[in-house]
Amino acid sequence: MVAMRRKIVEVLEGKTITPPPLWLMRQAGRYLPEYRATRAEAGGFLDLCYRPDLAVEVTLQPIRRYGFDAAILFSDILVIPDALKRNVRFTPGEGPQMDPIDAAGIRALKNDGALKHLSPVIETVRRLRDELPPETALLGFCGAPWTVATYMIAGHGTPDQAPARLFGYRDRATLEYLLAFLAEISAEYLIAQIDAGADAVQIFDSWAGVLGEEEFEDFAIKPVARMIEIVRSQRPQARIIAFAKGAGMNLRHYRQKTGADAIGLDWSVPLSFAVELQKEGPVQGNLDPMRVVAGGRALTDGIDAILQALGHGPLIFNLGHGITPEADPENVAALVRRVRGQADVTA
């Protein structure tokens, strides 16, 4: 029996497909009424992440509604610190919180049963591969070490991740120790997802954009490169997308230095620069999520500009960051039709 070639995997291998395959970051989420109903059934957010029956359901919801070319595992980047016993909790109206970690706590970290703690997430991946349409790719993911470290150090999200940046200036060696530790455990986690059926994985570095040039090299590139090196040493055919939000010109050599197959682009990356990056390999992105909220001409123009600039090379169409709760599900449907050339977006 010949294995089905899924479009997104083909793009990750360098193929140009017209129209390009698409999925949306946070495509399973609060903008969908069916998600909100399932979320209410779960109770806490982490309960939803750790219940395979419900996590499978919310992952499949946007596939049923829109027929995206990929489903992405429903989970969260902070399951890693949760597995490290950092008391992660999601407080309504306040965002994620955990016990902040200091230098002594970092040096005392142990990878003691973390993958066992994450076994419900791996079970979700396994069930998804069985339940997804055969033509639909399944994406796993994790947070990049720098982004996960910022939450661990501060104990919560901050506007510019100043606590982690300050920690790096004061005790660079300990921060680099933490990043290396997280790279190892995150690579193990990605390998487990691949073994469970993920066609490709994405590494989210949502806070890469707050780093200066030297720090970007040491805190964003090196740990992700180490993760990819570990994954490829054990799973040579693994396909990996790296998304360093806000990295700007630092993206010029990001693919080469990390070894990622494709790089995700946020909406601030000029399309002229994106074209240059695409010459080196596949890119993913980069529609502003606010265009999906606005709809109409703003949505149409944004989609068309990306397709015109990047549609003649290896492209996975996506947003430049996650879809927001304010997005109208009908605008998402219009986006799918437009990318696939099925209809115009109406004002």
- 189: annotated active-site residue: no
- 26: annotated active-site residue: yes
- 288: annotated active-site residue: no
- 36: annotated active-site residue: no
- Find tokens 């990056």 and name the residue: 277
Q: Which of 51, 69, 76, 189 is catalytic?
A: 76
Cα 79 from chain centroid (whole Å): 14
Beta-bridge partners for 138: 71
Q: Which of 31, 35, 39, 189 is catalytic?
A: 39
Q: How far is CA 149 from CA 121, 154, 310, in A?
A: 21, 9, 33
The DSSP code sequence of 146-204 is HHHHHHHHHSB--SS-HHHHHHHHH-HHHHHHHHHHHHHHHHHHHHHHHHHT-SEEEEE
Q: Which of 26, 165, 239, 338 is catalytic?
A: 26
Q: Which of 151, 165, 261, 338 is catalytic?
A: 151
Report d(CA 36, CA 58) in Å as an integer: 9
Report d(CA 149, CA 208) in Å as an integer: 11
Q: Which of 30, 65, 89, 252 is catalytic?
A: 30
Report d(CA 121, CA 53) in Å as an integer: 10
- 151: annotated active-site residue: yes
* Complete edge-to-edge strand list for the sheet that includes strand 70-72: 70-72, 137-143, 200-205, 240-244, 262-265, 283-287, 315-319
Could you list the active site residues? 26, 30, 39, 76, 151
